[in-house]
A and B are shown apart, each in its own frame.
Chain A
Amino acid sequence: MTAETTDVAEVGANTRKAGQYVYIAAVVLLCAWVIVPLYFLLINTLSSPEAVNSYPKPFIPEFDLGSLTFFANFAGILTALKNSILVAALTMVMSIAIGAPAGYALSRFEFRGKELFRLLILLTRAFPLPLLALPLAVMFIRVGIDDTIFGLALVHTTLAIPFAVLITFSLFSGIPIELEEAAWTLGCNRLTAFQKVILPLVLPGITASAIFAFVISWNEVFAAAVLTIENRTLTAFLLQNLDTSPLHLKFAGGFILVVPALIFIFAVRKYLFAMWGIANR
């Protein structure tokens, strides 16, 4: 009897141990999957152009700014960088200006088709951009906003809005309606109650979703490549020069693209989890 129980306990312990190994292995693998490419990117960016183009490659960065300097001096790159920032900033402003009120309405008002509306917001993400790109380009030319920062920002805003709506929806839902009601009874109307009570409480979250919109635009390449010619963003510019540019330029460009996105996403990760929590319901 006792022997049997120890046996069972042992088997249990072994299974648990094996499970733990699998778990650790999976974690290591996943981390490597993400970190190793980033590490290579880092090494090659911080090495001299000669080292990047030689063989075998270095495994530790030389901390040589040669590649980055070359990148900075490459014709047109700074304009592209400026365009990227402008488009992303404009996207950020527009998607919050449109998305946050929608998120508020979704969380505070009951109306018919609310669930359907939420689903539709998500579904816009399922619509492939390549299908839209050509008609959009034609329309933009007709309206006269082709090859402009604003035109591209409009498209990026469409991409960012679902996230802006869902994140702000979950933010507003997390604030008890009674707080607003209390403000109403204390002399506020809807607008002042929003200003004095809701806004201070959601501001960190709104900032997060603005940053996320920025990153979406910053990373977007397809629409940028199709809809701009002169005013290319950094992604589109690098894509265009992919086969002609030297290796160290690609690495430096990739690095400049990845780093802000990584930092920003890391900063707002808490709010992204909140969004998925709500969106998966």
Chain B
Amino acid sequence: MAVIEIKNVAKRFGDYQALHDINLTIDDQEFMVLLGASGCGKSTLLRIICGLETASEGEVWIGGKRVDHLPPKDRGISMVFQNYAVFPHLTVFENIGFGLRMQKLPNDQVKRRVERTAGLMHIDQLLKRYSGELSGGQRQRVAVARALAMEPDVILMDEPLSNLDALLRMEMRAELKGVLAESNTTAIYVTHDQVEAMSMADRISVMHEGKIVQAASPIEVYRDPAAEFVAGFIGNPPMNFLPATPAGAAGQWSVAGQTLHGPNAGKDLKFAIRPEDLTLADQGFQARAKVVEPLGAHLLVTCEVEGHQFRAILDSETQVRMGDTLTLAPQDGRGRWFDPATTLAVS
């Protein structure tokens, strides 16, 4: 049983505030992904949970026990480092078995567990090598195997697959998720790869400038972003934004010449729509195509609507040329609304 509770955690490096008042509860055996742009404080939060960094304020609880004052080894966690940290003076075998040897497990048990985790990570051929003789991706897998071999209650992973090629990454992603689900481990997984986040997470915490902007299931983060930042960050490409002004009647909004139904609010809002939620229609936004990118599965068209950049994902058979004017209609129920003052979602 390892629930992780982060209560009012803040972190300052001198004058620089890396984390602001973080509150987050991660359930037992949950797979939580921290997603955010480079420098938003993901690693810092992970290091605080791990005990490698002390929070300036706040508390960290693991499994119902306050752990702020405990050294990393007494927190029941293991960690995969962003830059692998594979010990250069030990073979792959001894690297993976390092923690087990510290626990003074008998040799045959160490051997069994090392070989099993090495198998999971497809590095069983490399057990005799030293880290200097491995590629970046192989080193990364050694680091993951080393953490898994500990069979911890909580595993913290800082971009553990960032150095693998696309195919291997997809394979390891599925495998890692399977292994963790089987082992009843609570996992926090840092990445800035959205696809990875969407595909692996039970819940995603989107971080921005040292704050958690939204913590919710992948589909909720995608469909109902809690803030403008999330809407503009998640999705490839992310949501389109257009200014909306009240159009007389309550709940009626004028957006780029169209009248749309929206929330009741007394001030200007922003209308947001995903590129794939747009269809060609007789009535809709007048969009002038500026860049047309055939991506195989579909067609990505970057247009301009009343001076605002506007992207649409259309069927790959659609005939569009640069300079064409398209009429794009938002699908019913897919539009979202944000308050420009607070940047939060309005419904």
Complex Cα spacing A248 to B117, Å:
70
A222-277 contacts to B, CB under 8 A, are: none
Specify which chain B residues have a CB less than 8 angstroms from the CB of A197 in the assembled complex: 87, 89
Specify which chain A residues have a CB less than 8 angstroms from the CB of B77 in the assembled complex: 185
Binds A, one of B98-106, B241-249, B317-325, B336-344: B98-106
Within the complex, what minimum Cβ distance (angstroms) separates B76 from chain A?
Answer: 11
Contact among A178, A185, A201 with B73 in the assembled complex (CB-CB below 8 Å): A185
Which residue of chain B lies nearest to A184 when distances are taken between CB atoms in the complex? B72
In the complex, B79 has a CB within 8 A of chain A: yes
Contact among B71, B87, B88 with A184 in the assembled complex (CB-CB below 8 Å): B71
In the complex, A144 has a CB within 8 A of chain B: no
Specify which chain A residues have a CB less than 8 angstroms from the CB of B98 in the assembled complex: 183, 186, 196
Is A187 in contact with B81, judged by CB distance below 8 angstroms?
A: no
Count residues of A near B (Cβ-Cβ below 8 Å): 17
Is B73 in contact with A187, judged by CB distance below 8 angstroms?
A: yes
Is B83 in contact with A186, judged by CB distance below 8 angstroms?
A: no
Within the complex, what minimum Cβ distance (angstroms) separates B344 from chain A?
Answer: 37
Is A186 in contact with B89, judged by CB distance below 8 angstroms?
A: no
B79-133 contacts to A, CB under 8 A, are: 79, 81, 83, 85, 87-89, 98-99, 102-103
Complex Cα spacing A57 to B99, Å:
68
Is B102 in contact with A185, judged by CB distance below 8 angstroms?
A: no
Specify which chain B residues have a CB less than 8 angstroms from the CB of A138 in the assembled complex: none
Complex Cα spacing A187 to B83, Å:
19
Is B78 in contact with A185, judged by CB distance below 8 angstroms?
A: yes
Interface string of B27-41 (1 = CB under 8 A from A): 000000000000000
Which residue of chain B lies nearest to A178 when distances are taken between CB atoms in the complex? B85
In the complex, B273 has a CB within 8 A of chain A: no
Is A187 in contact with B103, judged by CB distance below 8 angstroms?
A: yes
Supposing A183-B98, A200-B89 touch, asked if A189 and B71 sit within 8 A by C-beta, the answer is yes
Is B88 in contact with A187, judged by CB distance below 8 angstroms?
A: no
Specify which chain A residues have a CB less than 8 angstroms from the CB of B87 in the assembled complex: 179, 182-183, 197
Contact among B50, B51, B102 with A187 in the assembled complex (CB-CB below 8 Å): B102
A180-194 contacts to B, CB under 8 A, are: 181-189, 192
Contact among B73, B85, B89, B147 with A176 in the assembled complex (CB-CB below 8 Å): B85
* Additional A-B contact list (9), CB under 8 Å, known A185-B72, A186-B146, A189-B73: A176-B85, A178-B85, A181-B72, A182-B146, A184-B72, A185-B50, A185-B52, A187-B150, A200-B89
The 8 closest A-B CB pairs, nearest first, are A187-B102, A186-B99, A178-B85, A182-B85, A184-B72, A185-B72, A185-B79, A200-B89
